[in-house]
Amino acid sequence: MLISTAYAASTSAAPDWTSFLPLIVIFVLFWFMLIRPQMKQAKEQRKMIEALQKGDEVTTAGGIVGKITKVGDAFVGLEIAPEIVITVQKHTVQTLLPKGTIKSL
Overall fold of domain 52-105:
SH3 type barrels. (2.30.30)
pLDDT of 96 reads 95
Alpha-carbon distance 30 to 37, whole Å? 11
Does residue 66 sit in helix, strand or coil?
strand
Looking at the predicted structure, is the pLDDT value of residue 21 above 70?
yes
Domain residues of the chain, as ranges? 17-51, 52-105
Question: Which CA distances in Å does 55 have to 12, 35, 68, 88?
Answer: 70, 34, 5, 15
pLDDT of 19 reads 81
pLDDT of 1 reads 58
Write out pLDDT tens, residues 34-90: 999 999 999 999 999 999 999 999 999 999 999 999 999 999 999 999 999 999 999
Amino acid at position 17, single letter? W
Between 45 and 13, the higher pLDDT residue? 45
Looking at the predicted structure, is the pLDDT value of residue 13 above 70?
no
pLDDT of 14 reads 59
Does residue 78 sit in helix, strand or coil?
strand
Alpha-carbon distance 93 to 49, whole Å? 7
Angle at 6 between CA 5 and CA 7, to 5 degrees: 120
Alpha-carbon distance 9 to 25, whole Å? 30
